Amino acid sequence: MKYLYPDTSIWNCLCDQDADPNALSSALANRGIGLVIGFNVLYEMAKPFFTGTNEATERGRQLLTYLNHYLALGVPIVKENWALLIEEALDVTGHTPMKSCFRDNSQYEMTVHEIDKLLRGEITPEVVEFFAGRKSLVRTSRTAMKNRLDDRPEVKAIFAKTSDEDLSHFLSTATTGMAGQFMLLGHLRMEFPKDSPDDLAAVSALLLRSPKYRLSHALTRTDLYLNWRWARRGSIRADSPDDAFHIVSAAYCDIFATREADQADIAHHAIEGIQTLVVNEDEIVADRLVSAQERKADDSQDRTST
């Protein structure tokens, strides 16, 4: 089974086009493809409840009501990025084996329960605090990226002189080198604040030596890629770090679908081997998702028969 990760733009279109959840899930399953729901997708769909306008709240209600049909079918939810990073670190150090990138039954039921509460208009202080913290994290990550580059001009110069043609090779070598280990160390320190920098540096090196730890690799390659874009262009879009949350969430998936070409470009560089699919504005999204897999299957059969 291969897994298809639609980003928020795709889920919005599926909702607006009233795509049949049963029909879409079945058509993809017949081609060996399973839909997944990213935790960050859930965040984006719930975010309209916290803008304070009736129109936004109604939009959030519409989106979550539509997504509930997929949850009723048992479409798996990808665990949060931070949770997967912790699990990978515990696995590589031999503490706790990693089991799955998807939420287990109890976590799944908790998610469904929280969505139901939002749809009933029950917004707890804890939920408000979570959404405020997430917005702050995105702002902080963008500022931290700029500060790191400004504080290390020699590193910024290496990024700046790396051409588009050399980027793929640069990402591959930098990810497993000192630059990549430094990037991942920053994420590990947030999740393991009591561990020493030396110990976490060793964990960072272990994680990046093995392609098995796809979340760690995706986090690192995304950081390197965004730093490269900033150094080459002088800035990045304000929403780029938030977009990166979605892309990293697809680390354990095989296909990343989006309506935004830039999102697909970041995913292509962040996750080695992932298939990216950009759906145009004038297309029926469900048909495009299914037909893309049909064409891929036909291409494979043609190569096999030659």
Q: In this predicted model, what pLDDT tens digit does every residue of 93-145 receive, in sequence order?
A: 999 999 999 999 999 999 999 899 889 988 766 666 665 655 555 555 656 66
Give the pLDDT score at 13.
Answer: 97
Q: What one-character DSSP code corresponds to residue 186? A: H
Q: What is the pTM of this model?
A: 0.89
Containing 159, the helix (H) or strand (E) segment is helix 153-161
Give the pLDDT score at 299.
Answer: 43
Torsion of CA 11, 13, 15, 18, to 10 degrees: -140
CA 278 and chain centroid, separation: 16
Residue type, position 169, single letter:
H
Instruction: State the DSSP string of 247-298.
Output: HHHTTT-SEEEES-HHHHHHHHHHSTT-EEEEPPTTS-HHHHHHHHHHHHHH
Total count of domains within the chain: 1
Give the pLDDT score at 298.
Answer: 45
Give the pLDDT score at 302.
Answer: 40
Find the domain containing 190 and state its range: 2-305
Weakly modelled stretches of the chain, pLDDT under 50? 297-306
Give the pLDDT score at 104.
Answer: 96
Containing 83, the helix (H) or strand (E) segment is helix 81-92
**Total H helices, total E strands in the chain:** 15, 6
